[in-house]
Chains A and B, each alone.
Chain A
Amino acid sequence: MLSRHADSLYWLARYVERAENTARLLEAATRLSATPITAEDGRNEWEMAVDGTGTLDLFHEQHAEATQRTVVDFLAFSHANPSSIRNCLDIARANARSVRTALTMDMWETINSGWMETRGVNSPSLTRQELSDFLSRVKELSLRFDGSAYRTMLRNDAYYFLRLGTFIERADFTARVLALKADVLDPNRPSIGGSSDYFQWSWILRSVSALTSYHWVYRDNLKPNLVAEFLILKAEMPRSLVSCYENVTLNLDSLSRDYGRQGASQRKARMLLSQLQDTTLPGLFAIGLKDFLERFILDNASLGNTIAEQYLG
């Protein structure tokens, strides 16, 4: 396929995934802000939400204070934030339009109608209910897009590039959200600190829609080290780093099989996956969770660049 089309598919998937992740962050923050508890470390849930998208510096250039109003505007609607949900959907649709021939009708209709339904929604006039509706629609768009890709697309290179975008973006998000609390994670004190700590950990799980599944897997209270294990090392958790990388590797291998050629992307992805698979919980804490996640975020971005060089240029 055309390199440009592969590039558009890859970024289309990344932006749809990013829109959904940001919507989940905002939902979780809205929920947390409704609990009458102040954080011990003085960071509020709104600032954490911005930090979870990796845009805190940009946010502070534009806003002095992280409040519900400024953060909802910045993360959901602002044109000045390249990763706002509004911009994600605009860019996703523009990409979809430029690769329409590689999308199925169901996928295109999902993107196009989702974009049309949400484009009129604007921040200053929004009630809580309207915001919640908006966020639900964004999640729905992403779920429908994912489902229609899964159900209607041919399993060929177009599908693999789309999936690569999804999983690389998802791994990035999981790592960033977990990093929000990584610095306060003390392996010698495996239980939760105060009640604000508890809510923040549940907030993190909620942002990656993993709160319920955590309880199913561990049948235990929230324990920070288990949360870290769950989101990094558990292959059965579909947003864990190891699960994302199993999928990245799978799709890169399918590409190389179809094209009859391996390259730098395949080698790099396989290396990152085996690193993750070989890591244990004590090993994580030996490296330092914060350091581990920061390095992962860089490695993940670097794999994205390698894929671009190998296929999308």
Chain B
Amino acid sequence: MPAFDEMNGFGQGVRPAYRTIQAWLDSSDPENLRRLQKEAEFLFRRIGITFAVYGDAEAEERIIPFDIVPRVLTGSEWSTLSKGLTQRVTALNRFLADVYGAGEVIRAGVVPADLVYQNPAFRPEMVGLKLPHDVYVQIAGIDIIRTDDKDFYVLEDNARTPSGVSYMLENRDVQMRLFPDLFAETRIQPVDNYPDELLASLRSLAPASAPAEPTVVLMTPGPLNSAYYEHSFLADKLGVELVEGRDLFVLDGVVYMRTTRGPKRVDVIYRRIDDDFLDPMVFRPDSVLGIPGLISAYRAGNVTLANAVGTGVADDKAIYTYMPDIVRFYLGEEPILKNVPTWRCREPDSLRYVLDHLPELVVKEVQGSGGYGMLVGPKSTREQIDSFRAKLIADPDGFIAQPTLALSTSPTFVGDGIAPRHIDLRPFVLTGADKVRIVPGGLTRVALKEGSLVVNSSQGGGTKDTWIIEDPAEGTPPAAGQAQSQSQAGG
């Protein structure tokens, strides 16, 4: 059976949300679309929206392909989604406060102790530390997929240093620049308040000792990092300094940055650098990216890190399988977003099933990310499957398996016309002292290769602008744009 298509459903006609898009595509000359697609690429390259691909010296900087056909969700779809996201991220924060605190979720037998305490992402340094308003994950990126028009599934929780939000903002900019008419016809929820919402969240979580106007900085590993463009983009939009480790130092338990006017106290660090590299005195001693003494300042309560240290224990793929129970445990509610059914290979029955069904399953490393280190059974050769089988048997705890889901598709411009390609969605969820903020939209990633299910940019994925529109009335006539173009064609 073909996958659910966001525009055409299962082939029973254009879904109301996509009428404008359909009309636009029908009235557009492919040559013109090709030209605009090229222009979009030129814009991205000139603005310098690039990312580095590790291990690819030739193409040191690439742009992530941008597809000119937007992905559309209706207001009511978004409403369900945003309730579900709020619920999920609230539960993630409660879970983290618990595992670094009383550990009730473990005592209640909801999550096995070893999955938490033996987890390489578990940071003993965090135990007993009280964070402002118990917020650990200030910025979460939750990867959402669907296979029909009923349910949204969480594919992955990203609670460490999720990236991609700059593309959400830039895609909208470029889409508006190239297709102003589309925006005149449809009321699309804006996303450009994201930096304001982020800054408000970050400032609300400054340490108690900070002044009324806390100083926020964004910390990057530097220009060689694959997401450096995003770091500089966000710092710019936030109006905060983009710092590297060497710009900061710790004195008497307080973090300062070196400025042309002398040292200046720093209160909140939105860090886009992994735990391991934060402080060579506590984590990797060979890290030259970090700040010696940072963790002591953190533990003294003089600086807020966003996200907190040790959040990785909540977003790995082994804990993922327990998320529905975690939601029920802390909130006493049924999860609004579903989990993809998952086999935990650490459980012998599951492992046996997975080994017997490798060619039809997707197997992922518990600690992996970015589309690396996974097996997509139906797309793999015998040899690839056999070698993966050996890895799996050697370390069953390190893997989970899921059915190969037919991710929904969306119309995509592919050089010789419009064709369906698989997509997912990463909305960004901000948690502050006062509330959870989600700008309506997110980053839609698209697997540009025909049939491919891997949407990661490092694996040849592209991105789309994501529209949240008002609910269209059922059964209304075609959008004005189409009527007009038809009458023009007829006249």
Contact = CB atoms under 8 A, between A and B. Distances in A.
A94 B247 contact: no
B16 to A, nearest CB: 38
A311 B260 contact: yes
Contacts of B242: 100-101
Interface in B8-53: 45-48
Interface centre among A2, A108, A113, A161 (most CB of B within 10 A): A2
Contact of A94 (B46, B223, B257): B223
Contacts of B48: 97, 100, 108-109, 112
A109 B46 contact: yes
Nearest to A161: B260
Contacts of B228: 97
A113 B47 CA distance: 9
Interface string A98-135: 10110001001100110010000000000000000000
How many chain A residues sit at the interface, stated as a range, is 20 to 34
Contacts, number: 56
Contacts of A6: 260
Contacts of B246: 4
Contact of A3 (B233, B235, B236, B260): B260
Contacts of A3: 247, 258-260
Given A3-B247, A94-B223, A108-B48, A101 B232 contact: yes
B275 interface: no
B137 interface: no
Q: Chain A's interface: helix, strand, loop or mixed, by majority? A: helix
Interface in B221-267: 222-223, 228, 232-233, 235-236, 241-244, 246-247, 257-261
Contacts of A311: 260
A4 B247 CA distance: 7
Contacts of A112: 46, 48
Nearest to B232: A100
A100 B228 CA distance: 10
Interface centre among A100, A105, A116 (most CB of B within 10 A): A100
Given A109-B46, A311-B260, A4 B223 contact: no
30 contacts: A1-B241, A2-B241, A2-B243, A2-B247, A2-B257, A2-B258, A2-B259, A3-B258, A4-B246, A4-B247, A4-B258, A6-B260, A97-B48, A97-B223, A98-B222, A100-B233, A100-B236, A101-B241, A105-B47, A108-B47, A108-B48, A109-B47, A112-B46, A157-B260, A161-B260, A255-B260, A259-B261, A311-B260, A312-B260, A313-B258
Given A3-B258, A116-B45, 10 more contacts: A2-B260, A4-B244, A5-B241, A6-B260, A100-B232, A101-B236, A101-B241, A108-B47, A109-B46, A112-B46
